[in-house]
Amino acid sequence: MIDSPCINICKIDPQHQVCTGCLRSLSEIASWSGMTPGARRAVMADLPSRRTAFQASDQAVMPRRGS
């Protein structure tokens, strides 16, 4: 079995072109099973920083309630 960051929330964010569930790009998702273990580990290691950046950009775009 290949480790995957997929959490079964498969929706592509049109602005960032990444899955909102796992934050992989379309090309990463498509090539995941063919990637070397090292390449998959590198993507997975980058996901926490992607999540932080994605959430920060989402908050910048969406107004806060009560504002």
Q: Where are the domains of the chain?
A: 12-56
The pLDDT value given to residue 67:
45
- pTM of the prediction? 0.78
Dihedral pair phi/psi, residue 37, rounded to 5°: -55, -35
Each residue's pLDDT expressed in tens, for the chain with a length of 67 residues: 678 999 999 999 998 899 999 999 999 999 999 999 999 999 999 999 999 998 888 765 544 455 4
> DSSP string spanning 18-47?
EETTT--BHHHHHHGGGS-HHHHHHHHHHH
The pLDDT value given to residue 16:
86
